[in-house]
Amino acid sequence: MNRRSQFLEVLGIPTEWVPRRMPDPAGVPEAVDVAAAEAQWEAMAQATVDAPVGAVKVAGVVETAEAFDADSLADAAEAADAVAMVEAFAPVEQEARPASREVSQPPSDSPSDFQSDTSPLRKAPHPDQDARHAAIAAMDWPALESSVAGCTACGLCTTRTQTVFGVGDAQAEWMLVGEAPGENEDLQGEPFVGQAGKLLDNMLGALGLARGRNVFIANVLKCRPPGNRNPEPDEVAQCEPYLRRQIALIKPKVIVVLGRFAAQSLLRSTTPIGKLRGTVHAYEGIPVVVTYHPAYLLRTLTDKARAWEDLCLAREVHDRAGAQA
């Protein structure tokens, strides 16, 4: 297969018909009307431009692809490159256009409006959503855990292995909040397992804390999003009452939020995590300190020192809250 045939195959053209090259006017017998021939050539060329790609036929004058010379092959190569570039950039433009029309909504002061602001496009609330939220807000700990285990409020119930309610002391003074279960968490039913979980346990140990003793660890979502994708706004909205009730029942003295998504969701902010760090925020009157996700720290060792600064800030906030109690 020659180069020209390969270009045609890339473009999806099994056979391309093109106008036969007109003879050099200098070599045309005197009986031939050169001006008429040139006019016919222009008409044929225009018809070639207007015809669909892969089906170019002009007034019965045809020529197969094999008759192309080196210049024609070069032209075909440029055309193939142009098509490839269009195909490569078109999907990016299609994805970028809707985003340019999105308008972020300002955060609400009402805790009942807590949702992720990572995507300002939100679905309309379910007619029974207020009643569901009120019911969750009145649950005790066993009822809350049972409700999470049987939750079917969003589509994640069809893809999960099991829910991940959380782990730790239900009267803990420290509470850690992550984004959502990953694959290992979905299989084991416990947040932060695997290598990221081991790093988190070491971070807790440096503060004198332990997973099953004086800290409670939970996630914004109780079910794993397929492929560990970012949670959708509707999924966050359906799961938020569970997290809010957990916080209300535990009454921690400080909340440490792990990772960008969890921080932006809990604080209803689109501010980058680098700017959320180093400042004490609040959620329903409880101090909140933001730090990096353990999985991120496994990939970016240089930020471990910053994470330790965040934990020291959280310890200071906790000790100050204990002194005021």
pLDDT band for position 94 (cuts 50, 70, 90): very low
Strand, coil or helix: 154: coil
Report domain extents, the chain. 3-100, 126-324
- Give per-residue pLDDT as tens, 207-233: 999 998 899 999 999 999 999 898 999
Instruction: Please report the DSSP string for 192-222 in residue order.
Output: S-HHHHHHHHHHHHHTT--TTTSEEEEES-S
Give first-to-last CA distance, the chain, whole Å: 83
pLDDT of residue 325: 64
Q: To the nearest whole percent, how much of the chain has pLDDT over 70?
A: 61
CATH class, domain 126-324, is: alpha beta
Mean pLDDT of 132-144: 96
pLDDT band for position 96 (cuts 50, 70, 90): very low
pLDDT of residue 38: 52
pLDDT of residue 7: 54
pLDDT of residue 218: 97
Q: Please, which residues bridge with residue 254 across strands?
A: 174
* pLDDT of residue 294 exceeding 90: yes
- Give per-residue pLDDT as tens, 8-38: 565 555 555 555 555 454 544 444 454 554 5
| CA atoms 97, 98, 101, 103: torsion sign | negative
What is the token pair recorded at 105?
Answer: 């909504």
Question: 61-75, 94-108, 237-251: which has the highest mean pLDDT?
Answer: 237-251
pLDDT of residue 323: 73
Best CA proximity match to 260, nearest among 120, 163, 116: 116
